[in-house]
Structure 1
Amino acid sequence: MRFTFLLLCCLLVSCQNTDGPAPPTEDVYAPPGMVEADRERHVWQKPGVVIEVLGDIEEKVIADIGAGEGFFARRLAPLADRVIAIEIDQRWIDYLDTVRMTELPAALQPRLEPRLALPDDPLLAENEVDIVLFVNTLYLIENQEDYLRKLIPALRPGGRVVIVDWKKEDTALGPDPADRIGLSALAGILETAGFEVVSTDNTTLDYQYIMVAEKK
Structure 2
Amino acid sequence: MRFIPLLILLCLGCQETNGPAPPSEDVYAPASVEDDTRERHVWQKPGVVIDALGDIEEKVIADIGAGEGFFARRLAPLADRVIAIEIDQRWIDYLDTVRMTELPTNLRSRLEPRLALPDDPMLEDGEVDIVLFVNTLYLIDNRQEYVHRLLPGLRSGGRLVIVDWKKEATALGPDLGDRISLSDLGHMLEQAGFAVLSTDNTSLDYQYIMTAEKK
| Same fold per superposition (TM over 0.5) | yes
Q: 1: CA distance between counterparts of 2:161 and 2:95?
A: 21
Deviation for aligned residue 1:40: 1.3
Q: Tell me the amino acid that sits aligned with residue 152 of structure 2.
A: P
The answer as to whether partners of 2:135 and 2:165 remain within 8 angstroms in 1 is: yes
What is aligned with 1:51? 50
- Show the 5 A alignment for 1:112-151: 112-151=111-150
List runs of 5+ in structure 1 lacking aligned partners: 1-34
In structure 1, distance between residues paired with 2:204 and 2:26: 18
Could you say what secondary structure the match of 1:71 adopts?
A: coil
User: Which residue matches 1:205?
Assistant: 204
Moved more, 169-178 or 35-44: 35-44
In the other structure, the counterpart of 1:41 is 40
1:1-216 equivalence runs, <5 A: 37=26, 40-216=39-215
The TM-score normalised by the length of structure 2 is: 0.83
Q: In structure 2, what is the Cα distance between the partners aligned to 1:46 and 1:67?
A: 16
Counterpart-to-counterpart distance in 2, 1:73 and 1:97: 11
Q: Distance in 1 between matches of 2:199 and 2:119?
A: 25
1:59-80 alpha-carbon deviations (Å, 9 max, x no partner): 0000000000000000000000
Distance change (3 Å), C-alpha of 1:94 and 1:151: same
**2:173 and 2:89 mapped to 1: Cα distance?**
25
Root-mean-square deviation (Å):
1.3
- Please say if residues 92 and 114 of structure 2, whose CA atoms lie closer than 8 Å, have aligned partners that are also in contact: yes
Alpha-carbon distance in structure 1 between the residues aligned to 2:171 and 2:89:
31
Shift in Å, 1:156: 0.5
Percent pairwise identity: 80
Describe the shift of the 1:36–1:176 C-alpha distance in structure 2 as closer, same or farther (beyond 3 A).
closer
Code of the aligned partner of 2:205: D
Write the distance in 2 (CA, Å) between the matches of 1:214 and 1:119.
Answer: 23
Q: Tell me, in whole angstroms, the C-alpha distance in 2 between the residues paired with 1:53 and 1:173.
A: 21
Q: 1:88 to 1:36 in 2, by over 3 A?
A: closer
Structure 2 residue matching 1:108: 3-state secondary structure: helix
Q: CA deviation at 1:36?
A: 7.4
Provide the C-alpha distance between the structure 1 equivalents of 2:207 and 2:25, rounded to a whole number of angstroms.
Answer: 21
Contact 2:25 2:41 in 1 (8 A): no
Task: Give the distance between the partners of 1:183 and 1:125, measured in 2 at CA.
Answer: 29
Q: Comparing both structures, which one devotes a greater share of its residues to helix? A: 1
User: Which residue in 2 is equivalent to 1:12?
Assistant: none
Superposition misfits of 4+ residues, deviation over 2 angstroms: 35-39
Offset from partner CA, 1:167-202 (integer Å, 9 cap, x none): 011100000010000000000100000000000000
Aligned to 1:22: none
1:136 is aligned with what amino acid?
A: N
Q: Structure 2: how far apart are the matches of 1:37 and 1:74?
A: 17
> Shift in Å at residue 37 of structure 1?
4.6
